[in-house]
């Protein structure tokens, strides 16, 4: 899938062939994903048989999906760095990028905001190069604090929920058979308070009941009631086909019952849910990596203990070396004082 020029009729023919080939591959790829393909059971078989480069195909496929299936997204773009990315944009656009960055938003958020506001469409990598040229690629302490103050003002304003896959062999009791273990986590964006539930199934109905348990524990222990919760677009959290009614999905029903707005991460951008993604890395480093547990009950006890340690005893750099529970207590004390006066 090299560069294609469109200066004459012959190159236009090559372009059309490329588009036709990509559409055919995309059709087969999506049938495999939906388990409806008559010839291939896995995408690896498809790549090998059709001699499709996985990396290049997924690059074009993601661009195609992110551009709402516009054919133009399948046309190869000029390779190599575009030097205009550094200085060739209008001052108004650069000022707009500066303003958004100074509120603490990352390159993915900036690109999405510019597109949503119909200012200009830039890739995240282009935004990164521009912020680097402008000297804004690293957040200073003032901007970090501004980000916390502007984006999230209070506990419960936004929660991040996600599922972590537990490595096989972590719990000896479950080594035999096909039983798998998962951890469902819910993290408060403002305070970083987090609660966890160990699961042996990620069916939508099971995730719904585990999610209910998380909401109840966060309310009982920390008095956090969520206004919005962000998740990925997995079938555990929402209906994943365009024809399906999302309101019938168990997790969607749970959030509707508690009057919580459901937000979704941007497709192929796990960074959008970065706080809980970073939490999973911390959990692996501090609890799970290299450890084995004899029984499932022992494992659950350690996971619960870690959730309490993380929320009530551990200092966090992301919140100026404070303890999450202390932030909640400070908020509650200030609220009580205002009520008294």
What pLDDT, on a 0 to 100 scale, did the predictor assign at position 9? 45
Each residue's pLDDT tens digit, 227-250: 999 998 888 998 876 545 788 899
Report the CATH superfamily, name and number, of domain 154-340. Ribonuclease H-like superfamily/Ribonuclease H (3.30.420.10)
Which DSSP state fits 243? T
3-state secondary structure of 225: coil
Q: Looking at residue 86, what is its pLDDT?
A: 46
Q: Tell me the three state secondary structure of residue 307.
A: helix
Characterize the bridge pairing of strands 228-231 and 182-188. unpaired
Tokens standing for residue 154: 């209070």
Q: Is the pTM of this model over 0.85?
A: no
Please state, rounded to an integer, the average pLDDT across all residues of the chain: 82
| 152 phi/psi in degrees, rounded to 5 | -135, 120
Measured between alpha carbons, how far is 192 from 233 in angstroms, rounded to an integer?
A: 22
Distance from C-alpha of 40 to C-alpha of 33, rounded to nearest angstrom: 10
- Judged by phi (left if over 0) then psi (alpha if -120 to 50, else beta), residue 169 lies in left
User: CB of 86 within 8 A of CB of 130?
Assistant: yes
Which residue reads 């004390």 in tokens? Answer: 333
The mean per-residue pLDDT over the stretch 84-107 comes to: 75
Residue 44: pLDDT over 80: yes
The DSSP 8-state label assigned to residue 175 in this structure reads: S
Report whether pLDDT(136) > 60. yes
The pLDDT of residue 239 is: 82
DSSP letters, 85-120, are HHH-S-HHHHHHHHHHHTTT--HHHHHHHHHHTTS-
Rounded CA gap, 119 and 110, in Å?
Answer: 11
The domain segmentation of the chain, as residue ranges, is 9-74, 84-150, 154-340
Contacts for 148 with CB less than 8 Å, ≥ 6 apart: 104, 190, 319
Is it the case that residue 270 has pLDDT exceeding 90? no
């Amino acid at each position: 899938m090299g560069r294609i020029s469109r200066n004459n009729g012959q190159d236009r023919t090559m372009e059309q062939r490329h588009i036709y080939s990509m559409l055919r591959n995309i059709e087969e790829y999506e049938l495999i994903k939906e388990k409806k393909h008559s010839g291939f059971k896995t995408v690896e078989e498809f790549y090998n048989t059709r001699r499709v480069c996985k990396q290049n195909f997924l690059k074009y496929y993601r661009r195609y999906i992110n551009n709402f299936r516009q054919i133009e997204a399948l046309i190869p773009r000029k390779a190599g760095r575009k030097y205009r990315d550094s200085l060739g944009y209008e001052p108004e656009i650069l000022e707009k990028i500066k303003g958004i960055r100074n509120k603490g938003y990352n390159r993915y958020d900036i690109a999405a905001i510019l597109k949503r506001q119909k200012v200009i469409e830039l890739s995240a990598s282009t935004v990164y190069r521009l912020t680097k040229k402008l000297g804004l690629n690293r957040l200073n302490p003032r901007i970090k604090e501004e980000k916390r103050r502007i984006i999230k003002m209070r506990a419960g304003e936004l929660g991040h929920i996600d599922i972590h896959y537990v490595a096989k062999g972590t719990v000896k009791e479950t080594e035999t058979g096909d039983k798998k273990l998962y951890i469902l986590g819910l993290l408060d964006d403002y305070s970083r308070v987090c609660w966890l539930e160990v699961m042996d199934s990620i069916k939508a109905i099971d995730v719904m009941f585990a999610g209910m348990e998380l909401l109840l524990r966060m309310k009982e222990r920390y008095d956090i009631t969520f206004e919005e919760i962000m998740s990925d677009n997995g079938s555990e959290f929402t209906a994943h086909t365009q024809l399906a009614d999302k309101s019938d999905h168990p997790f969607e029903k749970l959030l509707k019952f508690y009057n919580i707005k459901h937000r979704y991460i941007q497709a192929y951008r796990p960074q959008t849910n970065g706080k809980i993604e970073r939490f999973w890395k911390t959990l692996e480093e501090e609890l799970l990596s290299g450890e084995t547990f004899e029984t499932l009950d022992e494992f659950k006890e350690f996971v619960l203990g870690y959730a309490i340690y993380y929320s009530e005893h551990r200092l966090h750099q992301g919140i100026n070396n404070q303890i999450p529970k202390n932030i909640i207590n400070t908020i509650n004390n200030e609220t009580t004082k205002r009520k008294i006066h």
